[in-house]
Structure 1
Amino acid sequence: MRVPAPDPREVRDASLDELSRLGLPLPPEQFPLVWEPGDEIELRPTVEIEARIAVLHVILARCFGMPAQAAMSWLLNSHLVDMVTPPEWQFVMGGRGDHRSFVLHHDALFSLAWVLGLTKQLDPTLPVDERLVERLPHIAGGETFAHWRSRILAAPQHPADVAALLDLHYCLDWAYLELERDGRSRPGLVDANAIGQRRWALEWAVVLRGPYHDEPPGWEEVDLST
């Protein structure tokens, strides 16, 4: 569902209000907006977001001891091999890559779960809700991707709500990095890495349409440099 994007300035003001409430530093006045007036927004197709959640779930299972053969078999049986990126495939098959960076995807998965309505909140001061695991594929029990989709009955958030949370995490990402540079304490239990992962997922899930936006990036192509 493609809808008109909300007023970017109003959304940004709300994001800055939240940073102030949390006692976080505010980005400079020239900090760019995520979208422009007149743009449109939509979410990626639900099945695509579900597939990304499932792939990340398998990768996390590999991080915590799932055998490579079992992971590969589940992906093959669920017809998800094409959704695995080359770096992810190298890790799933041979354990190659930065193990720590793959563990951090726990927060990206949490963010995507919120987009699909599988968890009720995405609070920047709170860690991943451990109850979420029950809403994820039961890989060890042999649950297929198709069965999982029918079990969870995803109810995606409205695109404007996801875009607003993207703007907030865009600002939070900057603020948390500032905190770390200054050696200041953060307002909750979530660190800059977790905020960055949540932003990564939201940047990927929200599709922005307008004269200044390119085609939606692949998972590994999401730009978090600004």
Structure 2
Amino acid sequence: MRRLRLPLPPAEFPLVWEPGDEVELRPTGELEARTAILHLLLARCFGMPPQAAMSWLLSSHLVDQVTPPESQFVMGGRGDHRSFVLHHDAVYALAWVLGLTKHLDPATPTDDRLMDLLPNIAAGETFARWRSRTLAAPRPAGDAAAMLDFHYCLDWGYLEAERTGAPLPGLIDANAIGQRRWALEWAVVFHGPYHDPPPGWEEVDLST
């Protein structure tokens, strides 16, 4: 945070986890499915017809993992179009967790090669074919937890910098950092006496 010249969270800023907690990642298949679904939502944002999107979900056997708001957007275009476009950075964070991208730099936009690493929906590449092509190698849970902790602090720092008019360290804004944090909050699972069961995608709490 100091290297990026961002405001530091206050001393009473709550911790992401407590001493003694255990950490793991969600199952690889679940991480891949969420990545593919968000990628499909982006395709819908940029003109993919609803019938084609639904056909891809059916052929990929992912319909049951689409949330109700996502389903409404896929089929009827209902919802906040801008919020779905912002998911591009959530996809980037999930790709990092899956080991598909080398870095998750808070000062730079997404990797230019990201689209090549995702399902080629326009060409009809199904979820199963994509999985066999990419051969994901998820990062160690501790590394992902450390990245979550970093983005937890970054989220506060970016919002504070934008509130006070301080310069940001790179080319992305608080929205992008928030999306990356959302993906990391969902992907990393903590177990301990102070943790509830892992939340669904729509239930991730970014209010702190």
TM-score where L is the length of structure 2: 0.99
Distance 2:104 2:28 in 1: 19
| Aligned mates of 1:164, 1:148 — CA distance in 2 | 28
Partner of 2:119: 137
Corresponding letter in the other structure for 1:150: S
Give yes or no for the alignment of 1:40 onto 2:22.
Answer: yes
What secondary structure does 1:157 align onto? coil
CA-CA distance at 1:184 after TM superposition: 1.6
Aligned partners of 2:138 and 2:184: how far apart in 1?
13
Q: Quote the Cα distance in structure 2 between the aligned partners of 1:24 and 1:185.
A: 8
Between Structure 1 and Structure 2, how many residues are aligned?
208
Q: Which residue of 2 aligns with 1:225?
A: 207
Q: Distance in 2 between matches of 1:212 and 1:160?
A: 18
Q: SS at 2:2's partner residue?
A: helix
Q: What amino acid maps onto 1:219 in structure 2?
A: W
Equivalent runs, 1:1-226 vs 2, <5 Å? 19-226=1-208
User: SS where residue 36 of structure 2 aligns?
Assistant: helix
CA shift for structure 1 position 130: 1.9
Alpha-carbon separation, structure 1, partners of 2:41 and 2:114: 16
What is the TM-score of this pair, normalised by structure 1?
Answer: 0.91
Take 1:164 and 1:130, find their aligned partners in 2: how far apart are those partners?
24
Aligned residue for 1:207, secondary structure, equals strand
Separation in structure 2 between the aligned mates of residue 135 and residue 108 of structure 1, nearest angstrom: 14
Q: Deviations over 1:145-186 (max 9, x none)?
A: 101000000000000000000000000000000011101220
- Partner Cα distance (2:206, 2:165) in 1: 22
Unmatched 5+ residue regions in structure 2?
A: none
Q: CA deviation at 1:23?
A: 0.4
Give me the whole-angstrom Cα distance separating, in 1, the residues matched to 2:114 and 2:81: 22
What is the CA–CA distance in structure 2 between the aligned matches of 1:111 and 1:161, rounded to whole Å? 13
